[in-house]
Amino acid sequence: MEIGTEEYRRLEVHARRIAVQQSEAIGLAAIRLDCGCIHYCGVSFTGDPVGPLTRLSVDNAPAAICLKCRRPDDRLSHRIEDRLMIWPGRPEEWPEPELRKLIAHKVFGDNYRETAG
Ligand SMILES: [Zn+2]
């Protein structure tokens, strides 16, 4: 299942927040897992994570963490159904397309989407 428009809107808010709070953060990487949970993390110019991997809260119920995601030994990479790069701000504020491609490739490999707002 893909990350939807409403979820993208909420992730974009986090992308803007991280870009303001962490000077090295240039974008946000988000994954949707087979359980329906969405996790996100800030990403630097070099495609390295900035800050912790955070779960997008669902319906204002932050305590309801699903059992699958609670298992610490569960390997996320096998459960990813969608990979999305989010660049905060207006498109003219985003990094150049070549740099965006380099960053996203380091984070996700070739298999990812990029939402243009
Ligand atoms: Zn989950």
DSSP for 29-95, written as a single string: EEEEETTS-EEEEEEETTS-EEEEEEEPPSTT-TT---HHHH-TT--GGGGEEEEEEE--S-GGGSP
Distance 108 CA to ligand 1 centre (A): 19
Distance 40 CA to ligand 1 centre (A): 13
Mean pLDDT of 12-25: 94
Looking at residue 60, its pLDDT comes to 56
pLDDT digits (tens, 9 = 90+) for 69-97: 888 776 788 899 999 999 998 989 999 99
**DSSP β-bridge partners for residue 25:** 44
